[in-house]
Structure 1
């Protein structure tokens, strides 16, 4: 205790000496200023005389400011590095969620959570269907299956008429279709071994495995186990790293023009021996939708949006391995149930589509 008191006394003594020195310096500067005024120096002359002192003070202030800025950056960098640690990040995320839940009685932020844009664009007007649009689908009875499709044929006979199409030879030249050992492991290992995908969180995740959260890695580890059977899972990649990583399993279809932009989001649909007749709805953004069946099969249903659901029929079909379903979801909602095979893998892409395409 005596040592602590001595240290405190020494610090106070130094602070008093420092304050006395500042007070003495201030008095001397004031005396010098008054002397210069009495002698008759002008402001310009005084500026010249005091220039070295002013320059030294400025340098001192700049050094002090740089030290403070460096300290702040160092502290923020340390905090950021700590927050990137797995356990710390998990706890901070949990605390943040609890805080947002506690905030609900004072501010209902849930509407903003489900919005795709926080700031509305006054020049954007979402297109809505009218009864006049329903004439394009009221006579449809089934979905055509074609091969050797050209872009003009796709655009004129199907896309512009809101008619879906199954292209039977869209994936013949894809390397993934000519790989005998392609299986769930290829996709699961992609996510589990890529450093950029370790922390990726899908925007939408649906499965019967009930992981208790939207943790994709938990689901992938479970389906990777041979002890787990009779399951399905589908998820949407909206993280740019995940979107790009999945592109290694598919290519631009031959019938699609190069002027059409790449998919902005993509989905994975996988299942194993999951026998069901209950359709799983997939919430898609508006645009050009392409579902590529890499392995197994998928049964699907396209239902017209309101008000066309009263005049247009539902379209059902089965997508077999190597086939691709192409449609725009301005008119249709997409639902599916997994095939009964032991290995069913499909990739769905969402692409921005405008009439100018």
Structure 2
């Protein structure tokens, strides 16, 4: 009996040991499974972290690039208006029924972009030049004196000069016309010239400001100024060559007197938009057009 009991006990002990081993294996499997899951989570977390840092790095590089772009005012100007020009091409047909030029004052950048620019509407802003020094300090005579007496303007030749009087369309003709007008020897004439040298642009730019309804990111550029002037002459400008205003934006600022202008649509508006005739600009007016859009100074008497 004792031997039988001992045999049974050995069997039970053996079974108990096997159960313990089985339980140990199960525990080890659980730990192993947990470890694998934990490892997978860590692996996913690392991938997510790498992706997050990649995005952050890309954003930082983008911001740095934008900063340097904004430092270049000409590039900023071009990028901004290239983008708006692309939007305008999509909305090009909105100018079809434009038959007159509207007048605005105290207009915000948002309203100007939404209501005027993107709709291809020509406009006259009658308060855009109120703060310009040119409105108080410059007359036609003082303008000519400025080009003769200012050391920077006097030293640099004009990029283009033309009048309706043949004798002045020669070397140093601009200086002779300016002096003759100042001294009372010449009263009737039409003239136009381009001021495009970087040094001279800075001098002229001190007499006007960027239109207030443009965003801060669009700074004043050094792309040139055209001066269109006349005195005692009212037969139009057919005697002069057309000015190549090949820019997306052209502004005409009436500094003194008044002018009668005609707005002709340019590409891609010319086939569907109307010509606007007999548009009057008075002193202080700043005019743009969807097809003839600048910042130019315009004197007439």
Length-normalised TM-score, structure 1? 0.52
Q: 1:267 aligns with which of 226, 233, 248?
A: 226
- Is 1:184 matched with 2:140? yes
Q: Secondary structure at the match of 1:152?
A: helix
Q: Secondary structure at the match of 2:262?
A: strand
Q: Take 2:285 and 2:114, find their aligned partners in 1: how far apart are those partners? A: 21
RMSD of aligned alpha carbons: 2.9
Q: Take 2:201 and 2:140, find their aligned partners in 1: how far apart are those partners? A: 17
What's 2:105 paired with?
147
What's 1:222 paired with?
180
Q: Which runs of 5+ in 1 are unaligned?
A: 1-123, 346-357
Q: Take 1:183 and 1:174, find their aligned partners in 2: how far apart are those partners? A: 13
- Is 1:285 matched with 2:249? no
Structure number with higher relative contact order (C-alpha < 8 Å, ≥ 6 residues apart) = 2
Deviation at 1:163, TM superposition (A): 1.9
Contact 1:205 1:214 in 2 (8 A): no
Q: Take 1:175 and 1:202, find their aligned partners in 2: how far apart are those partners? A: 22
Q: 1:239 aligns with which of 197, 201, 204?
A: 197
Q: 1:303 aligns with which of 249, 264, 267?
A: 264
Deviation at 1:172, TM superposition (A): 1.9
What's 1:319 paired with?
281
Q: Quickly say closer, same or farther: Cα 1:197–1:176, change in 2 above 3 A.
A: closer
What's 2:170 paired with?
213
What's 2:25 paired with?
none
Deviations 1:202-248 (A, max 9, x none): 22222112223263323322332312121111111110122111123
Q: Take 1:133 and 1:256, find their aligned partners in 2: how far apart are those partners? A: 20
What's 2:300 paired with?
344
Deviation at 1:133, TM superposition (A): 6.6
Q: Secondary structure at the match of 1:227?
A: coil
Q: Take 1:132 and 1:175, find their aligned partners in 2: how far apart are those partners? A: 38
Runs of 4+ in 1 over 4 A off after TM superposition: 130-134
Higher Cα Rg: structure 1 or 2?
2
Deviation at 1:270, TM superposition (A): 1.6
Q: Quickly say closer, same or farther: Cα 1:131–1:190, change in 2 above 3 A.
A: closer
Q: Take 1:258 and 1:227, find their aligned partners in 2: how far apart are those partners? A: 45
Contact 1:303 1:333 in 2 (8 A): no
